[in-house]
C-alpha cells in the first residue's frame, strides 16, 4: 500500500464538514498516520505540532472531519487521547486505513504499535501487519508449530533497517504471559526484534530490544 499521498486540497474538501487548508505540519502528521493508522496525542505534540496552538490544530482537523479523536485507557497511565482518520474514505485519500479497533484489536495495542514507529525514529519502510504483502506474510510461516501450536507468527509491524535487515515489531498491551512472549521470540529468532510494552505489564520481555511506554 502506498502511504503518504499528497492529497489536493480541492479533492479533500469534497469529503469534509468544513473548509480547511492543510499545512506542511498537517501533511507530515497525516503521512505518518497513513503508515501507522493511529497516533497518540503525546507523539503528535512531540513530533509534528510543537507550537503553543498544537492541541487547537488537532481539534480543527477533527472538526473538519479529517480526524477522529478517541480516548484510550492504559493501566498505570490512565486515559489519554489518540487520533485516527475520521472515515475509511478520508484514510484512503492519504493511502491509509482506519484501524480495526474493537473489530479485531484493542485501541491500546494499536497505539503501542504506533509508538514503536516513533521510538524507532519513524523508519520509512515501517509497515503494519494489516498492510503486509503476500511476500511479507510468507516470511513468518513456521517450519514447525510454535510453542503455542501456531503454524505462523505474524508480527504487528516490520521494517528494514539501514543495514538491510528485517526488524520485526511486536506490541504487547500488557496482556501477554511469559509463554506467549517466549513463543513469539522463538518464532522470530532469525530476525532482529523490537517490542513495545506499557510500563505496567503482566510479564516482561527480556532478551530483545524493548520500549516501555508510560
Predicted confidence band at 44 (pLDDT cuts at 50, 70, 90)?
A: very high
How far apart CA 190 and CA 135 sit, in angstroms, is: 17
What pTM did the predictor assign? 0.91
Contact 26, 7 (CB under 8 A): no
CATH topology assigned to domain 9-99: Arc Repressor Mutant, subunit A (1.10.10)
Contact 81, 42 (CB under 8 A): no
Q: Identify the CA nearest to 80 among candidates 51, 47, 45.
A: 45
Residue 9, helix vs strand vs coil: helix
Instruction: Express each pLDDT in 78-102 by its tens digit.
Output: 999 999 999 999 999 999 999 988 7
How far apart CA 95 and CA 89 sit, in angstroms, is: 10
Q: Which three cell numbers stand for residue 156?
A: 504487528
pLDDT at 131 over 50: yes
- Would you tell me how many other CB atoms lie within 10 Å of the CB of residue 17? 11
pLDDT at 68 over 50: yes
Residue 143, helix vs strand vs coil: coil
Contact 165, 180 (CB under 8 A): no
Compute the Cα dihedral for 104, 87, 82, 4 and give only its sign. positive
**DSSP assignment string, 78-100:** EEEEEEEESSHHHHHHTT-----
- Burial (CB count within 10 angstroms: exposed 0-12, middle 13-18, buried 19+), residue 52: exposed
Predicted confidence band at 161 (pLDDT cuts at 50, 70, 90)?
A: very high
> pLDDT at position 2, please?
42
> pLDDT at position 112, please?
98
Contact 96, 85 (CB under 8 A): yes
Residue 202, helix vs strand vs coil: coil
Residues 6+ positions from 137 with CB-CB distance below 8 Å: 152, 154
Sheet holding 39-40, edge to edge: 39-40, 78-85, 67-74
Tell me the domain boundaries of the chain.
Answer: 9-99, 127-213
Averaged pLDDT score across all residues of the chain: 90
For the segment 61-75, the average pLDDT, to the nearest whole number, is 95
How far apart CA 155 and CA 127 sit, in angstroms, is: 10
Amino acid at each position: 500500500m502506498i502511504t503518504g499521498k499528497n492529497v489536493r486540497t480541492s479533492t479533500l474538501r469534497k469529503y469534509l464538514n468544513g473548509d480547511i487548508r492543510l499545512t506542511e505540519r498537517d501533511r507530515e502528521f497525516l503521512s505518518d498516520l497513513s503508515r501507522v493508522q493511529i497516533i497518540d496525542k503525546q507523539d503528535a505534540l512531540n513530533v509534528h505540532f510543537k507550537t503553543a496552538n498544537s492541541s487547537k490544530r488537532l481539534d480543527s482537523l477533527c472538526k473538519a472531519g479529517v480526524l477522529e479523536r478517541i480516548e484510550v485507557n492504559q493501566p498505570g497511565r490512565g486515559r489519554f487521547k489518540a487520533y485516527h482518520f475520521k472515515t475509511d474514505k478520508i484514510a484512503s485519500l492519504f493511502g491509509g486505513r482506519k484501524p480495526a479497533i474493537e473489530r479485531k484489536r484493542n485501541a491500546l495495542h494499536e497505539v503501542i504499535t504506533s509508538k514503536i514507529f516513533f521510538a524507532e525514529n519513524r523508519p520509512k519502510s515501517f509497515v503494519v501487519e494489516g498492510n503486509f504483502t503476500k511476500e511479507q506474510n510468507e516470511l513468518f510461516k513456521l517450519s514447525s508449530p510454535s510453542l503455542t501450536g501456531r503454524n505462523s507468527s505474524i508480527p504487528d509491524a516490520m521494517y528494514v533497517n539501514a543495514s538491510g535487515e528485517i526488524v520485526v515489531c511486536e506490541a504487547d498491551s500488557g496482556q501477554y504471559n511469559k509463554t506467549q512472549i517466549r513463543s513469539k521470540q522463538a518464532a522470530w529468532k532469525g530476525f532482529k526484534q523490537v517490542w513495545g510494552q506499557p510500563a505496567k505489564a503482566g510479564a516482561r520481555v527480556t532478551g530483545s530490544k524493548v520500549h516501555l511506554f508510560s
